Chain A
Amino acid sequence: MAKTKEEYKDKKMMPKGQLESVGLGLTGACVAVVAIVVVALIFMVAQQGLTTFFADGIGFGSFITGQNWIPSDGRFGALPLIVGSFSVTLLSTLFTLPIALGSAIFVVEIQPGFGRKIFQPLVELLVGIPSVVYGLIGLTVVNAAMRSIFGAAAGTGAGILSGAIVLAVMILPTVTTLSIDALAAVPNAYREGSYALGCTRWQTVWHVVLKSAMPSLMTAVIMGMTRAFGETLAVQMVIGGVEKSMPAGLLDPAATLTTALTSGLSNATTGSVEYHALWSLGLILLAMSLFFILIIHLIGSKGAAKHD
Chain B
Amino acid sequence: MQDISRRKFLGLMGSAAVLAGLGVAGCGGSGSSSDSGSADAGAGDSGSSSLSGTIVCSGATSFQALVEDAANKFMDANPDVSISVTGGGSGQGLSDVKDGKAQIGRSDVFAEAKLEAADVEKLVDNQVAVVGMGPIVNSNVDVDDLSTEQLKGIFTGEITDWSEVGGTAGPIQVINRKPGSGTRATFEAAVLQGATVPDSWKPVAEEDSSGTVVEKVQQTEGSISYLAFSYYDDSKFKALSVDGVAPTAENVESGDFKIWAYEHCYTPADADEVTKAFIDYMLSDEVQGELVEKDGFIPVSGMKVQKDADGNISNK
B9 touches A158 (CB 8 A): no
A244 and B219 in contact, given A39-B16, A297-B9 (Cβ under 8 angstroms): no
Bound Cα distance from A297 to B4, whole angstroms: 8
Q: A158 and B6: CB pair below 8 A?
A: no
Contact B89 A155 (CB under 8 A): no
Cα distance A33–B177 in the bound complex, in angstroms: 42
The smallest C-beta distance from B123 to any residue of chain A, in angstroms, reads 12
Q: In the complex, what's the smallest C-beta–C-beta distance from A193 to chain B, in angstroms?
A: 26
Contacts of A245 in B (CB 8 A): 199-200, 202
Known: A155-B173, A157-B220, A301-B5. A267 touches B180 (CB 8 A): yes
Chain A residues with a Cβ closer than 8 Å to the other chain, count: 51
Q: Which of B6, B199, B221 contacts A297 (CB 8 A)?
A: B6
Closest B residue to A302 by beta carbon equals B6
Q: How large is the interface on B (under 10, 10 to 19, 20 to 34, 35 or more residues)?
A: 35 or more
Q: Of residues A147, A269, A300, which shows the largest number of chain B Cβ atoms within 10 Å of its Cβ?
A: A269
A242 within 8 A of B: yes
Does B127 sit at the interface, judged by CB under 8 A? no
| Residue B95 at the chain A interface, CB threshold 8 Å | yes
Cβ–Cβ < 8 Å partners of A274 in chain B: 180
Question: Could you tell me if B205 and A139 are in contact, using CB atoms closer than 8 angstroms?
Answer: no
A43–B220 touching, CB < 8 Å? no
B264 to chain A, nearest CB (A): 14
Which residue among A42, A72, A139 has the maximum number of chain B CB atoms within 10 Å of its CB?
A72
Docked Cα-Cα span, A270 to B89, in Å, equals 13
In the complex, are the beta carbons of A267 and B95 less than 8 A apart?
A: no
Q: How far is the CA of A10 from the CA of B212 in the complex (A)?
A: 73
Which residue of chain B has its CB nearest to the CB of A143?
A: B219
Other-chain residue from A42, A73, A269 in contact with B94 (beta carbon distance below 8 A): A269
Q: Find out whether the CB atom of B2 lies under 8 angstroms from the CB atom of A304.
A: yes
| Chain A 15-42 interface 0/1 with B at a Cβ cutoff of 8 Å (1 = within) | 0000000000000000000000001101
Within 8 A of A (CB), among B104-144: 114-115
Instruction: Choose from A39, A263, A298 the contact partner of B178 (Cβ within 8 Å).
Output: A263
Contact of B13 with A43 in the complex, beta carbons under 8 Å: no
By beta carbon, the residue of chain B nearest A216 is B2
Min CB distance B199 to A, Å, is: 6
Residue from A70, A157, A267 whose CB has the most chain B CB atoms within 10 Å: A267
Q: Which residues of B contact A231 (CB under 8 A)?
A: none
In Å, the complex CA distance between A255 and B207 comes to 11
Complex-state Cα separation, A176 to B166, whole angstroms: 54
Q: A158-B204, A242-B203, A298-B6 are in contact. Are A268 and B16 (CB under 8 A)?
A: no
- Nearest chain B CB to A278 CB, angstrom units: 11
Query: When chains A and B are docked, how far (Å) is the Cα of A241 from the Cα of B176?
Result: 10
Q: Are B206 and A240 in contact (CB under 8 A)?
A: yes
Q: In the bound complex, what is the Cα–Cα distance between A263 and B180 (angstroms)?
A: 9
Once the chains bind, are B89 and A241 in contact (CB under 8 Å)?
Answer: no
Cβ A156 vs Cβ B23 within 8 A: no
**Residue B24 lies at the interface, judged by CB distance under 8 Å to chain A:** yes
Q: Would B95 and A240 count as touching, CB distance under 8 A?
A: no
Question: A274 to B220, alpha carbons, bound, how many Å?
Answer: 32
Query: Which 3 A-B pairs have CB atoms at the shortest separation, nearest pair first?
Result: A267-B180, A155-B204, A266-B89
